[in-house]
């Protein structure tokens, strides 16, 4: 019986590891995809979504993951993400992804817009100083 070794990594720590995973379902830029033990090597950019991890006994674990990357090489899958929350069921994590991770994205967009405005203002003032 083939298995996948899975590691989920956050910027500051190892979040979760297992050596007996039979199936991984994740969401990438092109939509949901499934990895099995004999799947070809694969790389994907993850979007905020729910990651499903199944073991050989049929049990499933669910993780809400933020933006990140997934790399499958041989029998090993490494997932690197900014944030991860383990939950009891798929539907409760869908709500977390929608409220928490997408809210962070909106705040980041607003912060980037504000920063761009500050940069533009600063450059305009430097240009005005050069004229005088």
Residues 35-94 have pLDDT tens digits of 999 999 999 999 889 999 999 888 999 999 988 999 999 999 999 998 999 998 888 888
The HSE-up count of residue 118 (CA atoms within 13 Å, CB side) is 6
Length of the chain: 132
CB-CB contact of 70 with 63 (8 Å): no
* Reported confidence tier of residue 119, pLDDT bands at 50, 70, 90: confident
User: Which tokens sit at 58?
Assistant: 């049929």
CATH 2.60.15.10 fits 4-131, yes or no: yes
In this structure, are strands 49-55 and 60-65 parallel, antiparallel, or unpaired?
A: antiparallel
Map out the domains of the chain as residue ranges: 4-131
- Would you list the DSSP string of 66-125? -SEEEEEETTEEEEEES-EEEESSHHHHHHHIIIIIHHHHHHHHHHHHHHHHHHHHHHHH
Q: What is the pLDDT of residue 1?
A: 67
Alpha-carbon distance of 94 to 100, in angstroms, equals: 10
User: Which tokens sit at 119?
Assistant: 């940069």
Q: pLDDT digit string (tens) for 1-34? A: 699 999 999 999 999 999 999 999 999 989 999 9
User: Which residues are registered as beta bridge partners of 28?
Assistant: 31, 46
Q: What is the pLDDT of residue 132?
A: 65
Q: What is the pLDDT of residue 109?
A: 66
Q: What is the pLDDT of residue 112?
A: 63
């Amino acid at each position: 019986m083939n298995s996948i070794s899975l590691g989920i990594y956050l910027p500051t720590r190892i979040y979760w590891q297992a050596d007996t995973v039979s199936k991984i379902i994740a969401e990438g830029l092109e939509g949901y995809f499934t990895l099995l033990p004999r799947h070809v090597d694969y790389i994907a950019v993850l979007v905020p979504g729910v990651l499903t991890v199944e073991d050989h006994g049929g049990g499933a674990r669910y993780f809400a993951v933020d933006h990140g990357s997934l790399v499958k090489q041989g029998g090993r899958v490494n997932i690197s993400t900014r944030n991860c929350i383990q939950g009891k069921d798929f539907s409760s994590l869908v709500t977390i992804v929608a409220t928490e991770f997408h809210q962070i994205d909106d705040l980041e967009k607003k912060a980037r817009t504000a920063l761009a405005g500050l940069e533009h203002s600063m450059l305009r003032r430097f240009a005005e100083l050069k004229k005088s």
